[in-house]
């Protein structure tokens, strides 16, 4: 391995600036007691007098028009208050943009009679109790004029196109370099439709109070949702307030979704509080998912492994009503040097729900293909897979030519290899046996972009010596509330116990959502700026008035002025597997992830993010796959019994740690850690399965039937 | 969810009387399957008769008569019973391979036998299913069927029976006892589940209104040398894609007695009698085990995505019988 600039590995990281010492030390969640005692209330649990309950009715056909919604019999059922559908629902404004551009029309419920997929919202039944609402919703007869549908994804479908939103990246002459390469890997990979199903389903309560629409919602950005609700209902932004104090998981699925729009709509029509909670099955069509991908990777290299040609092409699907691109082909753009580069993701519209951001969108499936292909190239070149990556380490962005803000990939590999015992590895596949199990190890690289978004914060010095921070941050289970408390404590040079962290209230002003691994970095920046200013004002002396002294910040200018650089987190993933080729069972025995992901604010919850991401990758490698039924166009087994993810028994000893890697472009040195743990994990496992069996598994998940039918021995493809 | 009445029975006669001839009433055991089906609307009983408090919670063993298991014995208690562990280890292993600790604490032996298939079409009201709505069709045949039946299925239904416990019971010649308003009755497990044919909605031979009161396993010394192995798509908390209960008595390299039953391959736990016949009196060798598996699987009819179950079951037969042979040699 080549030498690297970074050195020590430790669970503590050096401070970006002199601090009080809270950042970098393990701290339990500040809301932990409230959560484990049940005192923490989630959106579906907040009681209101006069609360009515809405239940969504979803389409059962994949394409067509609603001919009739036979609401009269349902309105006569016990407790039923209203049935809203396209013929009687208030008109919504669909002509707007949100922070991410034109929105997915899934939020514009009941506006027309067209049905674009199975699971499209066609009605809301509101009743006095949730049981009555559900019974009536299930009894509601909706008649359709059905049209032929097409839901089957594959590579090279007729309607596939290159989207403007995800342009290709190109450098050099690919075909010339491929022809000149001594070694070529040309392989196709696929990943299935995958779903993010947070433990807490999407839920919202909406009510009008004093001329304002008050919504308690489970989302990843309450200001984002408030702004979008205001636009949808043509309301003054100041007249909508959304709060999301506790959120039981998001993973990209919790934006403005039909549950909150339906609750707001019903509360407006009925002028009483209305709660809408999605069922697990409804989540499979209403909250987004990861598109399946079909990918082809071509790598051309000199005999010593130096890349001449890099070609990564991916295809994904979207719905017929909105373009969402799972940018799998973009994963490698900052990873490896090569003389020629081409990468492009294409998309095909089908009669299916619109996919969306799901933890590490693009990077998760893209890293499976590319990091598997790298392993195949290492094998063909007779090189160690880590040495191959070191040989192709770029000095600047391979496509952009921009300098890196920091690049500690090789430090991760070095530390990981040492801890995992990689040096003792026999590279030959299929030669280790323990009873009925064949054993193997594998590795893969990971990376994730580092971005910041403008945010605002207010920090108040209270007369009693405490401080109150107000910021529209979201803690979707990540530990963000605690991390921000530590950051505020250090910035104010006080103990964390003196910080009152108030988050997830749209009235606190605009801030980044919990997304893109950007939340904590973006929010911390705003808190840091406001806290610094407050500290300076307090240093002038004088008393604190009863209303306190408040400093506010807005990081728009500072974030906008960030120098253009290649900013990324990096990581090295290692896995050991046992494979029984007579039954097809694959068991992961251990995983190790070493990450260079900026300054680690709270090692306790950070480890949870990394390990959780790695479990996500394990699940992707071996278990997760939604089954879509060609005939009906809908899912089969759309629940947590039918959609398998790793159970506890599948999750072995997983270790995650990090190298010192503070980001010089951030006032606190943060990069973001929510997604990188996923990236590369599935490839490390697939590479280990090859090492165990000698068979390349290029289609996820690596199911027992695939392993069984592929067998073992030789060097074969599955 | 449809509103329903709930009554708790305190004795067997009372339970049978409470249910009566009401086709809209169901016995409620642990509720681990029935309540799920009620939530999803697959089952819509107007009345539940809770039988969990009935005095049928004993497990009794005698060397001459074998094992008698009360119908309300929980799966956890059955698996942990010392006589079951010693004399029918495959039964303990099968029960422990199913569900989770919490579910096993609730689930009863009677309910386990009567649980319904987990076929994704059966559990989804929006889809056709001949088992749920006779005559509506079986979309699994052309659709998602990678974990569906390869033995004994028909064009009308390719669903599998989900129980692990019942696979072990099948290997051990279980007999089901039940009570009706007209008195008690018995059914060998081999006749308990009906062939699929064109009536997949008719699942058992129990008379209408019958209440399962217990399961008897005849004394079988071979059962003490038995094992259960389950292959599934994750390490725990999933239904089998193939499972096997096996018991073997080998003497001087010759198979004196063998029991084999398969799970997740048919609409019922599948007793592999053709394989047993092929093995009995012959050599205990890997070749003979494979040949016996082939004899049983000759009847397999596969669909495009479940053909892997044939080599899977073949491999499981060879692996399990080899392990039992080696164990006997020690």
Closest chain B C-alpha to A596 CA, distance in angstroms: 31
Q: Measured between alpha carbons, how far is A710 from A717 in angstroms, rounded to an integer? A: 8
- Give A160's Cβ-side CA count (13 Å radius): 18
Instruction: Tell me the sheet residues that pair with A255.
Output: none
DSSP string, A202-224: PEEEEEEETTEEEEEE--S-HHH
- Shared domain for A462 and A603, answered yes or no, is no
CA distances from residue A666 to A255, A483, A570, A606, B252 in whole angstroms, order as listed? 26, 15, 17, 18, 76
The reply to whether B238 falls in a domain is: yes
Q: Are A183 and A301 in contact (CB under 8 A)?
A: yes
Among residues B50, B69, B84, the one where a domain terminates is B50
- Shared domain for A555 and A529, answered yes or no, is yes
User: Does the structure show a pLDDT above 70 at B233?
Assistant: yes
- Shared domain for A427 and A540, answered yes or no, is no
Task: Give phi and psi for A118, each to the nearest 5.
Answer: -65, 125
- Shared domain for A614 and A718, answered yes or no, is yes
Q: Which residues of A touch B (CB under 8 A)?
A: 60, 118, 131, 134-135, 138, 436, 582-585, 587, 622-623, 627, 629-632, 634-638, 641-642, 644-650, 703-705, 708-709
Q: Measured between alpha carbons, how far is B147 from B239 in angstroms, rounded to an integer? A: 9
Instruction: Tell me the sheet residues that pair with A457.
Output: A553
Q: Measured between alpha carbons, how far is A238 from A230 in angstroms, rounded to an integer? A: 8
Where in the sequence is the domain holding A488, given as residue range(s)? 453-560
The reply to whether A434 falls in a domain is: yes
Neighbours of B40 (CB within 10 A): 17
**The pLDDT of residue A15:** 43
User: Does the structure show a pLDDT above 90 at A718?
Assistant: no
User: Does the structure show a pLDDT above 80 at A160?
Assistant: yes
Nearest to A587 among B121, B146, B235 (CB): B235
The reply to whether B93 falls in a domain is: no
Where in the sequence is the domain holding B45, given as residue range(s)? 5-50
For an interface test with B, give the residue of A280, A582, A707 to mutate (most B CBs within 10 A).
A582
User: Does the structure show a pLDDT above 50 at A8?
Assistant: no
What are all long-range contacts of A553-556, with beta carbons under 8 Å and residues at least 24 apart? A553/A456, A553/A457, A553/A458, A553/A526, A553/A527, A553/A529, A554/A454, A554/A455, A554/A456, A554/A526, A555/A452, A555/A454, A555/A455, A555/A456, A555/A522, A555/A525, A555/A526, A555/A529, A556/A454
Among residues A510, A533, A560, the one where a domain terminates is A560
What H or E segment, with its residue span, contains residue B12? helix B12-19
Neighbours of B46 (CB within 10 A): 13
Domain count across chain A: 2
The predicted-structure confidence for A347-379, as pLDDT tens digits, reads as follows 999 999 999 999 999 999 999 999 999 999 999
Burial class (CB in 10 A: 0-12, 13-18, 19+), A594: buried
What H or E segment, with its residue span, contains residue A574? strand A568-580
Closest residue, chain A, to B44 (C-alpha): A135
Token pair of A412, please?
């991760």
Q: Are A348 and A318 in contact (CB under 8 A)?
A: yes
Q: Is A675 among the residues known to form the active site?
A: yes
Asked whether the beta carbons of residue A647 and residue B235 sit closer than 8 angstroms, the reply is yes
Domain count across chain B: 2
**The pLDDT of residue A44:** 96
- Shared domain for A460 and A571, answered yes or no, is no
Token pair of A313, please?
């092409």
DSSP string, B92-113: HHHHHTSS-HHHHHH-BHHHHH
User: Does the structure show a pLDDT above 90 at A3?
Assistant: no
Nearest to B316 among A135, A583, A632 (CB): A583
For a pLDDT cut of 90, what percent of chain B falls above it?
98
Nearest to A436 among B125, B232, B319 (CB): B319
**The pLDDT of residue B329:** 86
Residues whose CB is less than 8 angstroms from the CB of residue A648 and which lie 6 or more positions away in sequence, other chains included: B236
Chain A residues in contact with B42 by the CB 8 A cut-off are none
pTM over the 0.80 mark: yes
Q: Are A225 and A513 in contact (CB under 8 A)?
A: no
Averaged pLDDT, A498-519: 97
Distance from the first to the final alpha carbon of chain A: 31
Closest residue, chain B, to A279 (C-alpha): B40
**The pLDDT of residue B330:** 81
Chain B residues in contact with A583 by the CB 8 A cut-off are 231, 242, 312, 315-316, 319
Averaged pLDDT, A46-66: 97
User: Does the structure show a pLDDT above 50 at A669?
Assistant: yes
What H or E segment, with its residue span, contains residue A135? helix A130-139
CATH number (domain holding residue A622): 3.30.365.10
Chain B residues in contact with A708 by the CB 8 A cut-off are 308, 311-312, 315
Q: Quick one: which of B246, B215, B229 has its CA closest to B94?
A: B229
Please provide the average confidence, as pLDDT, over all residues in chain A.
95
CATH number (domain holding residue B310): 3.30.390.50
Q: Are B316 and A583 in contact (CB under 8 A)?
A: yes
**The pLDDT of residue A713:** 63
Closest chain B C-alpha to A677 CA, distance in angstroms: 21
- Shared domain for A569 and A649, answered yes or no, is yes
- Shared domain for A610 and A710, answered yes or no, is yes
For a pLDDT cut of 70, what percent of chain B falls above it?
100
Cβ-count burial B282-297 (b if 16+ within 10 Å, e if not): bebeeebbebbbbbbb
Averaged pLDDT, B281-305: 98
User: Does the structure show a pLDDT above 50 at A155?
Assistant: yes
Helix (H/G/I), strand (E/B), else coil: A447: strand
Distance from the first to the final alpha carbon of chain B: 56
The predicted-structure confidence for B108-156, as pLDDT tens digits, reads as follows 999 999 999 999 999 999 999 999 999 999 999 999 999 999 999 999 9
- Shared domain for A716 and A605, answered yes or no, is yes
Asked whether the beta carbons of residue A134 and residue B1 sit closer than 8 angstroms, the reply is yes
Averaged pLDDT, A286-300: 98
**ipTM > 0.85 for the complex:** yes
Chain position carrying tokens 């998309």: A347
Question: Largest alpha-carbon pair distance within chain A?
Answer: 80
Q: Measured between alpha carbons, how far is A95 from A39 in angstroms, rounded to an integer? A: 40
Chain B residues in contact with A632 by the CB 8 A cut-off are 126-127, 139
Helix (H/G/I), strand (E/B), else coil: A105: helix
Q: How confident is the model at residue A17 (pLDDT cuts 50, 70, 90)?
A: very low
Q: Are B34 and B4 in contact (CB under 8 A)?
A: no
Q: How confident is the model at residue A180 (pLDDT cuts 50, 70, 90)?
A: very high
Q: How confident is the model at residue A16 (pLDDT cuts 50, 70, 90)?
A: very low
Asked whether the beta carbons of residue B143 and residue A644 sit closer than 8 angstroms, the reply is no
């Amino acid at each position: 391995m080549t030498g690297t600039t970074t050195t020590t590995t430790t669970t503590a990281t050096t401070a970006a600036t002199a601090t009080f010492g809270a950042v970098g030390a393990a701290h339990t969640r500040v809301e932990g007691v409230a959560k484990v005692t049940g005192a923490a209330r989630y959106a579906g649990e907040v009681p209101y007098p006069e609360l009515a309950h809405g239940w969504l009715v979803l389409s059962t056909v994949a394409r067509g028009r609603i001919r009739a919604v036979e609401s009269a019999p349902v309105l006569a059922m016990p407790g039923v208050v209203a049935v809203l559908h396209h013929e009687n629902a208030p008109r919504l404004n669909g002509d707007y943009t949100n922070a991410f551009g034109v929105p997915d029309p899934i939020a514009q419920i009941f506006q027309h009679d067209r049905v674009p997929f199975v699971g499209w919202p066609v009605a809301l039944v509101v009743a006095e109790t949730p049981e009555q609402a559900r019974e009536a919703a299930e009894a509601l007869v909706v008649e359709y004029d059905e049209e032929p549908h097409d839901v089957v994804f594959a590579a090279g479908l007729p309607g596939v196109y290159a989207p403007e939103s995800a342009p290709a990246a190109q450098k050099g002459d690919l075909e010339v370099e491929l022809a000149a390469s001594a070694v070529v890997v040309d392989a196709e990979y696929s990943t299935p439709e995958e779903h993010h199903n947070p433990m807490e389903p999407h839920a919202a309560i909406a009510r009008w109070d004093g001329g304002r629409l008050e919504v308690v919602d489970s989302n990843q950005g309450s200001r984002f949702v408030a702004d979008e609700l205001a636009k949808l209902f043509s309301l003054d932004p100041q007249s909508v307030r959304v709060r999301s104090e506790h959120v039981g998981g998001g993973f990209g699925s919790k934006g403005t979704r039909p549950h909150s729009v339906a609750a707001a709509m019903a509360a407006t029509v009925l002028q009483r509080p209305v709660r809408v909670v999605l069922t697990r099955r409804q989540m499979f069509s209403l909250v987004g998912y990861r598109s399946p991908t079909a990918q082809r990777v071509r790598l051309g290299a000199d005999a010593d492994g130096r890349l001449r040609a890099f070609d990564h092409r991916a295809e994904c699907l979207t719905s017929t009503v909105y373009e969402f691109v799972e940018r799998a082909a973009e994963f490698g753009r900052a990873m490896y040097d090569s003389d020629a580069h081409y990468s492009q993701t294409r998309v095909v519209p089908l009669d299916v729900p619109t996919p969306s951001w799901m933890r590490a969108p693009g990077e998760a499936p893209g890293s499976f293909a590319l990091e598997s292909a790298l392993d195949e190239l290492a094998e063909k070149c007779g090189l160690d897979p880590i040495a191959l990556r070191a040989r192709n380490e770029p000095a600047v962005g391979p496509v952009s030519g921009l300098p890196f803000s920091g690049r500690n990939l090789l430090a991760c590999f070095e530390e990981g290899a040492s801890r995992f015992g990689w040096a003792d590895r026999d590279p030959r596949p299929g030669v280790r046996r323990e009873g009925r199990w064949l054993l193997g190890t594998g590795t893969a690289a990971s990376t994730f972009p580092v971005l910041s978004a403008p945010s605002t914060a207010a920090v108040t010095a209270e007369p009693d010596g405490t401080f109150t921070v107000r910021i529209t941050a979201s803690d979707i289970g990540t530990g963000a509330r605690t991390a921000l408390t530590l950051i505020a404590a250090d910035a104010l040079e006080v103990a964390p116990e003196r910080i009152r962290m108030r988050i997830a209230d749209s009235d606190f002003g605009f801030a980044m959502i919990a997304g893109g691994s950007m939340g904590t970095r973006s929010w911390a920046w705003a808190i840091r700026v406001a806290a610094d200013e407050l500290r300076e004002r307090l240093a002038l002396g004088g008393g604190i008035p009863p209303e306190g002294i408040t400093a506010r910040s807005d990081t728009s200018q500072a974030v906008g002025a960030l120098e253009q650089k290649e900013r990324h987190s990096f990581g090295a993933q290692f896995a050991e597997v046992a494979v029984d080729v007579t039954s097809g069972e694959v068991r992961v025995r251990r995983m190790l992830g070493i990450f260079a992901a900026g300054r680690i604010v709270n090692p306790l919850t950070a480890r949870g993010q990394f390990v959780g991401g790695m479990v996500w990758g394990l699940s992707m490698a071996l278990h997760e796959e939604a089954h879509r039924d060609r005939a009906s166009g809908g899912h089969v087994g759309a629940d947590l019994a039918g959609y398998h993810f790793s159970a506890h028994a599948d999750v072995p000893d997983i270790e995650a740690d990090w190298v010192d890697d503070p980001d010089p472009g951030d006032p606190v040195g943060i990069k973001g850690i929510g997604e990188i743990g996923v990236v590369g994990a599935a490839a490390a496992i697939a590479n280990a399965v090859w090492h165990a069996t000698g068979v390349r598994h290029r289609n996820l998940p690596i199911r027992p039937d695939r392993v069984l039918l592929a067998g073992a021995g030789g060097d074969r493809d599955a | 969810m449809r509103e329903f009445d709930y009554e708790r029975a305190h004795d067997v006669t009372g339970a049978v009387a409470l249910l009566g001839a009401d086709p809209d009433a169901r016995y409620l055991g642990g509720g681990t399957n029935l309540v799920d089906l009620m939530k999803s609307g697959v089952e819509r009983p107007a009345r539940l008769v809770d039988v969990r408090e009935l005095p049928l919670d004993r497990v009794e063993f005698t060397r001459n008569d074998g094992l008698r298991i009360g119908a309300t014995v929980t799966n956890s208690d059955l698996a942990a019973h010392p006589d079951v562990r010693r004399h029918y280890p495959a039964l303990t292993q099968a029960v422990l391979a199913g569900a989770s600790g919490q579910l096993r604490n609730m689930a009863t032996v009677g309910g386990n036998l009567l649980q319904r298939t987990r076929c994704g079409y059966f559990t989804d009201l929006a889809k056709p299913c001949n088992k749920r709505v006779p005559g509506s069709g079986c979309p699994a045949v052309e659709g998602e069927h990678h974990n569906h039946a390869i033995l004994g299925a028909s064009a009308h239904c390719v669903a599998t029976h989900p129980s692990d416990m019942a696979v072990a019971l099948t290997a051990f010649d279980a007999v089901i006892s039940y009570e009706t308003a007209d008195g008690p009755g018995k059914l060998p497990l081999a006749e308990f589940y009906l062939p699929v044919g064109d009536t997949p909605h008719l699942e058992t031979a129990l008379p209408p209104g019958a209440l399962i009161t217990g399961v008897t396993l005849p004394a079988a010394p071979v059962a003490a040398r038995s094992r259960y192995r389950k292959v599934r798509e994750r390490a725990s908390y999933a239904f089998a894609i193939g499972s096997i209960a096996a018991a073997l008595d080998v003497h001087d390299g010759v198979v004196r007695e063998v029991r084999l039953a398969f799970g997740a391959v048919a609409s019922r736990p599948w007793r592999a009698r053709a394989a047993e016949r092929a093995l009995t009196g012959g050599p205990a060798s890997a070749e003979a085990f494979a040949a016996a598996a082939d004899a049983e699987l000759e009847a397999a009819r596969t669909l495009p995505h479940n053909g892997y179950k044939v080599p899977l079951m073949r491999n499981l037969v060879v692996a399990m019988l080899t392990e039992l042979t080696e164990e006997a040699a020690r």
